[in-house]
Amino acid sequence: MIHLTVNGSPVELEEPVSIAELLQRIGVPPNYLAVEINAEVIPRAEHSSHSVAEGDEVEVVTLVGGG
C-alpha cells in the first residue's frame, strides 16, 4: 500500500501509478493544471512517465481564467 497526500488529504493506492493515472483516479481533468510533488513542479510532458511514491506530497492546482 502506498500512502501519499493530495492537496492536504491522505490518499492510499495499492500500487505505484503515474501522475496522469493519479489525476484520472481522483477525478481531476488534465487540462489547465499544474502538478507539484514535494515542492517540485512536474512538467506536463512528464505526467505519464513520472510515478508517485510512498510519502509524496502532491499538490494539484487548476488554472482559472477571468478578467
User: Does 67 map to a domain?
Assistant: no
User: Does 47 map to a domain?
Assistant: yes
User: Does 31 map to a domain?
Assistant: yes
pLDDT band at 67 (very low <50, low <70, confident <90, very high): low
User: Does 55 map to a domain?
Assistant: yes
CATH of the domain at 33: 3.10.20.30
Tell me how far the alpha carbon of residue 35 is from its chain's centroid. Answer: 5
Instruction: Using the Cα atoms of residue 8, residue 14, residue 18 and residue 20 in order, give the sign of their dihedral.
Output: negative
- Is the confidence at residue 23, as pLDDT, over 90? yes
Total count of residues recorded for the chain: 67
The set of cell numbers assigned to 7 is 492537496
Report yes or no on whether pTM surpasses 0.95.
Answer: no
- The total of structural domains in the chain comes to 1
Give residue-wise pLDDT tens across range 52-62. Answer: 999 999 999 98
> What is the span of the domain harbouring residue 41?
2-62
